[in-house]
Structure 1
Amino acid sequence: MTESLLKPDSNAKLAAGIEELVDAEAGNIDRRIFWDESIYNLELERIFARCWIFVAHDTQLPNVGDFLTTTIGEDAVIVSRGEDGKIHTFLNSCTHRGNRVCFAEAGNSRRFTCNFHGWSYGLDGSLKNVSRPQSYSGKSNLDKSKLGLHKARVESYKGMHFACFDPEAPSLEEYLGEFRWYLDVILDNDEGGIEFIDGNIKSRLKCNWKFPAENFVGDSYHAPWTHSSALIAMFGKQPTMRPDRSYHANANGHGWEFGLDFIGNAATLNSPPIIDYLREQEAKFAERLGKVRSRMVGALSSANVFPNLSFLAGHNTFRTWNPKGPRSTELHTWVFLNANAPEELKEEYRRGVMLTFSPAGVFEMDDGENFENCTAVNVGVVTRQQQLHFGMGLDSKIEHEELRGNVYQSQINEANQRAFYQRWADLMGAETWADVPVR
């Protein structure tokens, strides 16, 4: 397990009190989890330093030497394709004085060399060379095998690469659990899988990372109200959500709220070629996924893989909510499509995401303002001590003959948000992974 970032006594005391902050059964959440500095520091240790965090898609690093830089929590990391063809993830911090060894966002390289003293590292993070090696002799002799950049475990699911710094964490397959069945709706509805379109939008929000993550995991309740003007401008009316044909589904804190309307999200991209493509492929989707899942491919929906990987089916955008303190989040956004889709659809999806879920997008501007205000208002000493209510749909759990995981009737619900915060509390209060329950 990662060494505690806090003093053992204060760490244990804080962890023991976490269960008092989240009452998922009643739907009550303490606002302090969005503001308190000590809680945030414990999150970095017990969530981001030991969960599986998305770092790259296979198509972003097609060649040996390809790399990108990102963060896991607030740890800067390099993700690269090594000479062995595998994806490696390691700290972007020299083992000599701690300087960054790579300042580029992405590129291709044979080595990563620190510009402070010239220590050079391979594509797998191992120490290859140092400047003036003759200065290290006798007792000063370097053991290069022990001075490489600290590596994370890397495991993949259908082209999506995740990294984890905790050697005791379960495998990625166990971590995702039954939610893999839902991920296949977008990752495996076509035999060619998906590809990420070149480019990555980065933006900053003055909000706690949990607000956008819980919004994507299950908040369709806000859509007809927050996005009313945009929806009416696009459709002339608001899309109809059918409670009898829509659901919340979750497993281990991962969740997807969805209808079965097939093209509800995709329609907001305002692109006839995208709708035509989906209609043309509808029978193939059903053959590959089954009728129910095929109806989710472009439907009104949103989802989040715990803790901070969100996506929108139909809009074809992945995003990560990267914490930069309890009141700041860096958003990374990508556009994807099926690898076998016509080439001309790349620009259609790119333009559609810019219209809807980019910093200037008609939906994202609405959401960002809300996320920031939800965070900022908690500066008040009295306000911060109050609870938030997440009680919608407490009695809505159902058994479904086809859907997997924990299933709840109606996508206008708060079941997935309660599951998200229960997972958060389970991890925050657990000393080791062995203490984290499967839900």
Structure 2
Amino acid sequence: MSNSVSLDPQLLNEGWLPREIFWSEEIYQLELERIFARAWVFLAHDSQLPKAGSFLTTRIGEDEVIVVRGRDGKVSAFLNSCPHRGNRVCSAEVGVARGFVCNYHGWSFGLDGSLRGMHESDSYDREPTFDRSRLGLKKVAQIESYKGLLFATFDADAPSLPEFLGDFTYYLDVMLDNDPGGTEFFGGCISSILGCNWKIAAENFAGDALHAGWTHASGAEAMLGGPVAPLGDPANESYHVNVNGHCWEFNLDGVGNAATLGDKGIVRYLRENERNFAQRLGETRAKMVGSVASANVFPNFSFLPGQNTFRTWQPLGPHKTELRTWVLVNRNAPEEVKQAWKKGAMLTFSPSGVFEMDDGENWEGSTHSNRGFVTRQQPLHYGLGLESRVAHPELPGNVHRGQINDANQRAFYRQWSKMMTSTDWSELLDPRAAR
């Protein structure tokens, strides 16, 4: 594996994955170039930028980025790095500003990223070759919104965001469009550091329902007040679905994830709105709104329907990840329901949450056990559900029967491998899955 960044398609189709992809510094550097510098990556929710001058700082891969709403109301994003000596021009995580000024030499930039002035500006203006128009902050190549979620890419040749998402928007609408008022991020951002490879966390949300009944058994019983029904029960209608490496695993129980937050008001809100959800989404998707489920938008944007925790896995090296977490709510939901969702998310999926501590320990162990040379030569098994693909009359994309399955993890790594080896976007997206 050290001489190549591709995965053997036959071995992956048989359910085998090399460990080297979670440990190699060489592979990690190529990920920054071939995945994070090219894919559409989640930046922010529109509600985080309520007025002109509202900004936040984030990262695309390890490239630091400022996201800001301009005076014209449009959102821009550009590198948080001064073109003079490279220093950050904004150190705050969030705020409202009229512009950005580098602490080093006083270069100042407008909300559109253009260079507006600098300390000792006469010294520059006397230089005949000095051209301010060429010295603004580097902008992302494209930035687009899908129903409140803002994404950007550094690749000018990348397909549009709707093409990148493809038919996965059918599933995203379960969370983003079940109410006419739309959604918002409620409360602030929780940030924590995990000693794990970013892919291990992303693939867990892409499709690992198997761990829930074992890893989270005690936490789920504590929050629900009793034993948890097994997800592998054949009587449960459940699926893995994936489009272009974007993945969602779910059953159709309606409120299973929401119930684990331990608040009856949240469950009551979902029950009272079932008919409204069905009118907007149809009967099947209405049952997904609060169900036991998890999802990942390739490469590193994950969420849990029902529990409503939305998060990014920001890579900080092959063995280190920053987790940023928000709570998504319907804008029209009652204030007490929004507060309950925020409190429930903190109880379950925060650094001290009953579920997140379980996950963090396992992900760190799964990363650092690969430090051994002999250990890294042993492939990992991803072989559940090899023959589970089905044709579904309603669900788009690649559909696999059963929630206890590895189909989505295999799809995630199949997309990862394609992006690591191909520069041709026509080879990277499934034309059958695009709207």
Q: Which amino acid in the other structure matches residue 143 of structure 2?
A: V
- For residue 127 of structure 1, the aligned residue among 91, 115, 123 is 115
C-alpha distance after superposition, 1:158-216 (max 9, x if no partner) = 01000100101111000000100000000000011111112000000000000010000
Partner of 1:294: 286
> Secondary structure of the residue that 1:431 maps to in structure 2?
coil
The 2-side partners of 1:259 and 1:425 are apart by 28
Measured after TM superposition, the shift of residue 140 of structure 1 is 4.3
State the distance in 1 between where 2:49 and 2:10 align.
40
SS at match of 2:332: coil
Contact 2:239 2:249 in 1 (8 A): yes
**3-state SS of paired residue (2:178):** coil
Q: Which residue of structure 2 lines up, in the alignment, with residue 61 of structure 1?
A: 49
1:389-414 Cα shifts (integer Å, max 9, x gaps): 10100000001111110000011100
Conserved? CA contact 2:390–2:399, under 8 Å: yes
Q: Distance between the aligned counterparts of 2:274 and 2:3, measured in 1?
A: 48
One of 163, 185, 189 as aligned partner of 1:196:
185
Matched, 1:116 2:108: no
1:409 aligns with 2:398: no
Q: Give the one of 181, 186, 205 matched to 2:175.
A: 186
Q: Does 1:309 align with 2:285?
A: no
- Cα distance in 1 for partners of 2:10, 2:387 equals 18
CA contact (8 A) 1:68 1:105 kept: yes
Match of 2:92 in 1: 104
Residue 357 of structure 2 is aligned to residue 368 of structure 1: no
Within 5 A, what are the aligned runs for 1:11-90?
Answer: 17-20=5-8, 23-90=11-78
Bigger Cα displacement from structure 2, 132-141 vs 249-258:
132-141
| Amino acid in the other structure paired with 1:405 | G
Choose which of 238, 256, 267 in structure 1 pairs with 2:228. Answer: 238
**Counterpart of 1:341 in 2: which secondary structure?**
coil
2:242 maps to which residue? 250
Aligned position for 2:389: 397
Shift of 1:138: 4.7
SS at match of 1:170: coil
Amino acid paired to 1:134: D
Q: Distance in 2 between matches of 1:437 and 1:388?
A: 26
Distance 1:390 1:155 in 2: 34
Counterpart of 1:385 (choices 355, 358, 377) is 377
Please report how far the alpha carbon of residue 15 of structure 1 lies from its aligned counterpart in structure 2 after TM superposition.
Answer: 8.3
Bigger CA drift: 139-148 or 65-74? 139-148
Tell me which of 176, 196, 201 is aligned to 1:207: 196
What TM-score does the superposition give when structure 1 sets the normalisation length? 0.95
Distance 1:202 1:17, change over 3 A: closer
Please state how far the C-alpha of 1:437 moved relative to its aligned partner. Answer: 4.4
Aligned 8 A contact 1:56 1:161 in 2: yes
Counterpart of 1:142 in structure 2 is 130
TM-superposed CA distance for 1:347, in Å, is 1.4
**Contact 1:21/1:30 (<8 A) preserved:** no
Q: Cα RMSD (Å) of the superposition?
A: 1.5
Residue number in structure 2 paired with 1:4: none
Which whole-Å deviations, capped at 9, do the CAs of 1:94-127 have from their partners, x for residues lacking one? Answer: 0100000000000000010001111111112111
TM superposition shift of 1:59 = 0.4
Q: Does 1:155 align with 2:147?
A: no
Q: Is the 8 A contact 1:335 1:349 kept in 2?
A: yes
Percent pairwise identity: 58
Match among 401, 405, 411 for residue 419 of structure 1 = 411
Indicate the SS of the match to 2:273.
helix
Q: Matched residues in 2 for 1:16 and 1:38: separation?
A: 10
| Match in the other structure for 1:333 | 325
Matched residues in 2 for 1:22 and 1:298: separation?
36
Q: How does 1:219-230 map to 2 (within 5 A)?
A: 219-230=208-219
Distance 1:260 1:21 in 2: 32
2:5 and 2:417 in contact (8 A); partners too: no
State the secondary structure of the residue aligned to 2:333.
coil
Matched letter for residue 169 of structure 2: R
Residue identity matched to 2:179: D
Residue 321, structure 1, aligned to residue 313, structure 2: yes
Residue pair 2:5, 2:27 contacting (<8 A) in 1 also: no
Provide, for residues 260-304 of structure 1, a one-character-per-residue CA deviation record: whole Å limited to 9, x for no partner. 000000001111111111111010000110000000000000000
2:256 matched to which residue of 1? 264
Measure how far apart 1:22 and its partner are: 8.1
Q: CA deviation at 1:83?
A: 1.3
Report how many aligned residue pairs link the two structures: 427
Q: How big is each residue's C-alpha offset from its partner over 1:227-267, in whole Å with a ceiling of 9 and x where there is no partner?
A: 11112223310134244400000000000000000000000
Cα shift at 1:380: 0.3
Gaps of 5+ in 2: none
Q: Equivalents in 1 of 2:23, 2:48: separation in Å?
A: 35
Structure 2 CA distance for partners of 1:423 and 1:293, relative to 1, 3 Å = same
SS in 2 for 1:136: helix
1:19·1:429 contact (CA, 8 Å) conserved in 2? no
Cα shift at 1:17: 4.8
| TM superposition shift of 1:19 | 3.1
Which of residues 275, 284, 287 is equivalent to 2:276? 284
Distance, in Å, in 1 between the alignment partners of 2:139 and 2:261 is 40
Distance 2:192 2:261 in 1: 21
Match of 1:3 in 2: none
